[in-house]
Amino acid sequence: MQSNSISIRIKNRTVSLSSPIVMGILNVTPDSFYEKSRVNTEEKMIARVDAILAEGGAIIDIGGYSSRPFAVEVTEKEEIERLFGALSIIRKYFPDAILSVDTYRANVADQVIREFAVDIINDISGGTLDPRMDEIIAYHQVPYILMHMRGTPQTMQQFTTYKNLFHEVSLFFAQRIQRLSELGINDIVLDPGFGFSKTAAQNFELLKNLSRFTLFEKPLLAGLSRKSMLYKTLHTDAEHSLPATIAVNTIALMGGASILRVHDVNEAVQAIAMYEHTYSLSSVE
């Protein structure tokens, strides 16, 4: 379990993560792997954000570029247009919502922070696909989700060979944290990158050993929702993998996850409530 001192700063206020929180996914892409997560009209966007917040989601993660394996390349211009359209609506109707943008492009990150006061940048490449990202995060001083991935969404499944998976992911985190710290970036969230440049077996190995990443004393994010590691193991599909998602999210909480990134917010909030209730009871004599 993570230390009670784990927190991040958002707009000059400290957000404690001693109690895990939920990040709800909002996709403005036409090709995200889970069809029901896609929103393409203003009405659907408002309804989705309203549902995330009403069900107890603390953060809304907005993506304009599908990062599923073999996803079609999207130009920076198109990504910006998608994000600007979504963010203008969300900021109009939900001005106080905590917004995260899922992008690995520094220019995209810079523009969404400047134009819409986006609170968090969620970078699937951990800074490896755009070296300017570190500079942008340092300039704006927003929390940064540092995910482990090799290659690009189009090539990542070619890079699943590791001599020691945990040690190599840990080394990546250590090197990137050191670099970011040198630039004055301290609000860093670590994401081991389930499903990114990893086989199903490797994903479960990381999940089983998630608690070992707490040695970095940074919040951990688990992005396991409806992923292929679940539905392929069960010989089903993304639509029918909600029970499996609840199960692995619970395992992630037991391993020290502070943030659950999910499609199904209510179920994740309930999983956290049961996890916390169980451990609070275990401490009562």
pLDDT digits (tens, 9 = 90+) for 167-196: 999 999 999 999 999 999 999 999 999 999
pLDDT of residue 284: 47
Nearest to 8 by CA among 23, 28, 26: 23
For residues 248 and 194, what is the distance between their CA atoms, to the nearest angstrom? 11
pTM for the full predicted model? 0.92
Average pLDDT along the chain: 91
pLDDT of residue 31: 52
Q: How confident is the model at residue 285 (pLDDT cuts 50, 70, 90)?
A: very low
Which is the catalytic residue, given 48, 82, 105, 261? 261
Which is the catalytic residue, given 68, 198, 227, 232? 227
For residues 239 and 93, what is the distance between their CA atoms, to the nearest angstrom? 29
Active site residue 261: yes
- 195 touches 229 (CB < 8 A): yes
| Higher per-residue pLDDT: 55 or 67 | 55
For residues 82 and 87, what is the distance between their CA atoms, to the nearest angstrom? 9
pLDDT of residue 4: 53
pLDDT digits (tens, 9 = 90+) for 219-238: 999 999 999 999 999 999 99
* Orientation angle between helical segments 133-140 and 165-182, nearest 10 degrees: 50
pLDDT digits (tens, 9 = 90+) for 17-38: 989 999 999 988 765 554 555 6
Where do the domains of the chain lie, and which CATH numbers do they carry?
19-282 (3.20.20.20)
- 25 touches 63 (CB < 8 A): yes
Active site residue 227: yes
